[in-house]
Amino acid sequence: MDLKTRNSFENAMDGLLRSGYAIFSLAIIAVGVETYICAGSLRGTLIDANRLGRVIGPVVAALGVGLLVKRAARTAAMLLGSLLFLHALVYVLPKYAGRPRSMGLRTQLFEPLAVASLAWLLPGEDAMPSWLERSSRYLLAASFVVFGVDHFLGLAFIGSLIPPWIPWHAFWTALFGAGFIAAGFSIGFHILARWGAACVGLMFAIWVFTLHLPRATLGLYGGRPHNPAEWSSLLIAIALWGGSWALASNVK
């Protein structure tokens, strides 16, 4: 690859990864709107707020809007990360502590932790304390490793969620599990972290279009289009896709 072609490829990749910031922000706005509309009926989602959704939903949506406003972006990112982190520790962790073998509760715990970490990392290394950058990166890495290990522990179940037109369900489940673990170590140890974040974001993007969108909008592959949990799963996947790409665009 000559220098001109390489520069063109890198510029195109940079532009693609920078789109992750807007994707993440819009997903957070949508999460806030859903939390408000579905207050009292959301269970096992990013913000399992019950009736408090009428309060928390608008706050989350406002923080998502704040991410798109240059002057407010850093503050909004810090507040969003803190809100999701506290929600996971105060509301979800006690439930998981009582049932530590529950893969569902483990996912409910580490999804908001992963999104919180991505929110904290949005402003970039130069705009945040070094301790928070390191802690966020390690927490995100641990979350991805947990997701990867769970892919192997739940090989049959997760494989059953893959659309039937895609062959070799066990193979893809194991491959994505290995991808999660590799991305976690890449981000945690800062080894090819840009590629690790970019690839895990691509994984989520693939799932958005092949699995979550068809389930949430058309009811395909066992989905329920009028179920708030389906839409929440879609929005979480979009947030993790966009946040991972935004992280990749910030890695130096």
Residue pLDDT, tens place only, 189-239:
999 999 999 999 999 999 999 999 999 988 888 888 778 888 889 999 999
- Tell me what pLDDT residue 129 has: 87
Per-position b or e across 123-153, b if 16+ CB within 10 A of its CB: bbeeebeeeebeebbebbbbbbbbbbbbbee
Question: pLDDT tens-digit profile of 42-67?
Answer: 664 667 666 677 888 899 999 999 99
pLDDT at 49: 61
Measure the N-to-C terminal CA separation of the chain; round to a whole number of Å: 22
Calculate the average pLDDT of the chain: 90
Which pTM does this prediction carry? 0.93
Question: Residue 227: its pLDDT value, please?
Answer: 82
- pLDDT tens readout for residues 22-35: 999 999 999 999 88
Count the neighbouring beta carbons within 10 Å of the beta carbon of residue 24.
29
- What the block records as the tokens of 107 is 């996912």
Of 78 and 11, the one with more pLDDT: 78
Count Cα atoms within 13 angstroms, Cβ side, for 202: 13
CA distance 23 to 25: 6
Q: What percent of the chain has pLDDT over 90?
A: 68
For residue 8 the two structure tokens come to 């063109």
> What does the domain layout of the chain look like in residue ranges?
14-250
Average pLDDT over residues 149-157: 94
Identify the weakest region by mean pLDDT among 7-11, 65-69, 71-75, 222-226.
7-11
Question: What count of residues does the chain have?
Answer: 252
- Whole-angstrom distance, CA of residue 36 vs CA of residue 28: 12
Q: Which of 48-52, 121-125, 137-141 has the highest mean pLDDT?
A: 137-141
pLDDT of residue 8: 67
Question: Cα separation of 182 and 176, whole Å?
Answer: 10
Instruction: Give start and end residues of each alpha helix (H) in the chain.
Output: 3-37, 53-67, 73-87, 93-98, 103-121, 130-153, 155-161, 169-188, 193-207, 213, 228-250
> Which of 114, 119, 120, 175 lies closest to 146 in space, CA to CA?
114
